[in-house]
Amino acid sequence: MYRLAGFYNPRQAQAFIDYMAYRGIEISMAPEPEGKFALWLADEQYLVEAEAELNAFLLDPNNKKYQAASWQVAESRTAKFNYSNPSLINMVKAQAGPFTLLVMVASLVIYGLWLLGFEQVLFEWLHFPFMNGDQWELWRYFSHALLHFSPIHVIFNCLWWWLLGGQIERHSGSAKLVQIFLLSSLVSGFGQFWLDGPNFGGLSGVVYALLGYIWWMGWLAPQRGLVIARSYVVFMLVWLVIGFAEPMGMSIANMAHLFGLISGCVIALFDAKVNPLKQAK
């Protein structure tokens, strides 16, 4: 599967899908956040042709040939296109890949067990190592990212993980998201440990790595098609700065955020300049 483009007008997108179906090329549509609909090419051997036709369509979407194609394929269409708002479950699944969903589910299940009274057991098993012998328990360098301590903590971290991690996984594949998760949880964990010891947890350091990765990839290699809205970047950077003031006495893993952001930017720099691979499928 290859993501061709995003449309805010699903009827217009369906016209292009019908035209390509008439030409024997299968394209599907999936909802995305903010009311957007993505077009996905089923067989990448048709990528060059599909992109050329898409460019022509965008220049003249009202051309009669697109309407004619819709009439041609209307009777053979096996599924009726539905313009209603997608369900929450379908929206979550459309935006996320398997690793995105796995981390979300793991975080929510662990927090559910936390609420059921297993706080001590969970923290003892998942916290960042104290460096008094447990430094050889290697999972601890990553498992701390799955620990959350309040409803707001887990909900907002999972929301950002789903939004940013899902985008990276769909664009660059599960292996890239796993790489960023492991490296950023390791780096952000050490950063926070040096400042305040092992009493921390949460996905926020990883989330800032995802932000840094998408942000810098959009800046350094815009042709790769991985971009993020400027409003998201501004919001997250402002929150990063505010966090150091610890408003309302909140305990915030600020160094985890900062080191996570730096790690994501460094990975993007490597991918864009040192290892400029072909755009991920």
- Show Cβ contacts of residue 21 under 8 Å, excluding neighbours closer than 6 positions: 27, 69, 73, 77
The yes-or-no answer on residue 127 being catalytic is no
Q: How far apart are CA 29 and CA 211, in angstroms?
A: 26
- Residue 15 belongs to what H/E stretch? helix 10-22
Using DSSP's 3-state secondary structure scheme, residue 276 falls into coil
What letters, b where the CB count within 10 A reaches 16 and e where it falls short, cover 146-164? bbbeeeebbebbbebbbbb
Q: How far apart are CA 184 and CA 262, in angstroms?
A: 9
Considering the candidates 204, 231, 251, 263, report the single residue annotated as catalytic: 204
Considering the candidates 171, 184, 257, 263, report the single residue annotated as catalytic: 257
| Number of neighbouring beta carbons within 10 Å of residue 279 | 13
Q: How far apart are CA 202 and CA 251, in angstroms?
A: 12
Q: In what order do the strands lie in the sheet with 27-32?
A: 2-7, 36-41, 27-32
- Show Cβ contacts of residue 204 under 8 Å, excluding neighbours closer than 6 positions: 157, 160, 253, 256, 257, 260
The yes-or-no answer on residue 257 being catalytic is yes
Contact call for residues 79 and 44 (beta carbons, < 8 A): no
Q: Residue 68, Cα to own-chain centre: how many angstroms?
A: 37
Catalytic residues, which ones?
Answer: 204, 257
